[in-house]
Amino acid sequence: MDQTMEEQSTEPKRGMGKRKIIIFGAIGLAIIAGAILFYFFYLQNPSRQVLARVHDEKITVEQFNKELAKVEPPLIRDMFREEPNNLLERMIVRSLLLQEAKKQGLSAPVKTYKDAAQNPLSPDEAIIIEFIGKKFSSPPEVKREEVEGFYKAYKDQMDGKPLKEVAPAIEQYIREAKQKQALGQFLEELRKNAKVDVDQDRLKKIAAKPPEMNTEEEMKQALTSGKPVLVDFGANSCIPCRQMRPILKEIGTEYSEKAKVIVIDVYKYQKLAQEYKILMLPTLVFFDTKGKEAFRHIGPLEKEKIAAKLKEIGMGT
């Protein structure tokens, strides 16, 4: 009887112990769930992810994405996705210019509806343009000796016109070149002396993977395949090269059994580019069935002309 009473007295304690475990377990799960939600919805919020700090001003992932969405054409947008630092640097310089403009007390004029329709510039862009206009309000001097020197150097491109006739145009060209140079130097100094911190790890995380290109080994294998080969010596940072990619992909797919299409990154394989004397991008080099160079073309080339050249150097019909 005593033993039975003891057993009965321990049952409530065991039950309370189990309830405590369940309660503490639930609290622990709630804390973990809260931490996960805090991480993904607060810390991982693009508006809170800082890519760079320009003095005391933040540039967030959200701001970067909004700026990226404005970039046209889509081809350039894709290139910025792959190399986000290029767009971020533009945003940093713009931020620095805006900060300098505001230090000078400049502010955007209040726009009416009519003004907004006629001038699509944002308030920040208007301030920056006004600041640059005031900063470089005095046109640089162009000496007569500079005009005469330019004329002498490019006389063969003047269509036989005398110096007196073309001097005003030459002077204007030199003046604009000096203005661009002065602006470039100013921006370089502004960026150099600024306090800018860039989160390189976060920048790498938002970078898109660039289009895949072929290796040097794949090119060598193609040249010994017994098929005609087209090698595009280019780079992902080259706009005409990127414009050629869809065409090359179509050629490679349509004639996969009859020819080889290879795309080489000249910056990654610099020795290979030197070996084939590549000076401009893109350079399309056609090789015959024996792996010997048969033809080359600098710049983009139409699909029909590529196919015709491959057939000319040995591609079967």
Residue 12: band (very low, low, confident or very high) from pLDDT cuts 50, 70, 90: low
69, 232 contact by CB (below 8 A): no
Rounded-to-integer distance, Cα 90 and Cα 84, Å: 10
Known catalytic residues? 238, 241
Q: Is the pLDDT of residue 26 over 70?
A: no
Distances (CA, A) of 233 to 57, 104, 214, 250: 42, 49, 10, 17
Residue 175: band (very low, low, confident or very high) from pLDDT cuts 50, 70, 90: very high
CB atoms within 10 A of CB 188: 11
Beta bridge partners of 314: none
> What is this structure's pTM?
0.75
Q: What is the mean pLDDT of the chain?
A: 87
Q: Is the pLDDT of residue 113 over 70?
A: no
Rounded-to-integer distance, Cα 137 and Cα 64, Å: 32
Q: Is the pLDDT of residue 27 over 60?
A: no
Distances (CA, A) of 22 to 13, 16, 33, 34: 14, 10, 16, 18
